[in-house]
Structure 1
């Protein structure tokens, strides 16, 4: 979970935009989070296949938390 520059606001997973097992490209929106009143798309950090989602929709998040496992080629 990257730093969003929003302090003192809860951050929760709103929606996964990619299904487990799907190929992703670096920078492609991976999931959507709610940070206070804002909705933010979080990008894939690398090219590869989304092997595992480590958080579910409505889960609270903290900065630095791993969100998914992406296996690169």
Structure 2
């Protein structure tokens, strides 16, 4: 497991732009990157940013957390 964590930290250092929370980013920035894989995906997760009652999908990868709106592809969040 320790080797897996080290490998993921190496990828994390490469993608500095993902250290900040970003709202409503271009959908191209939401595509999985080389070495990135989905760890978990949950549907029906509510957005607490201000668009109340708006449900979406929460995707957890080995590098990022992404929330995608079910209503509009322009509303999203990535960390």
Q: Which has the higher contact order (CA 8 A, sep 6+)?
A: 1
Bigger radius of gyration among the two: 2
Higher strand share: 1
Q: Same fold (TM over 0.5)?
A: no
TM-score of the two chains, using structure 1 as the length reference: 0.33
TM-score of the two chains, using structure 2 as the length reference: 0.32
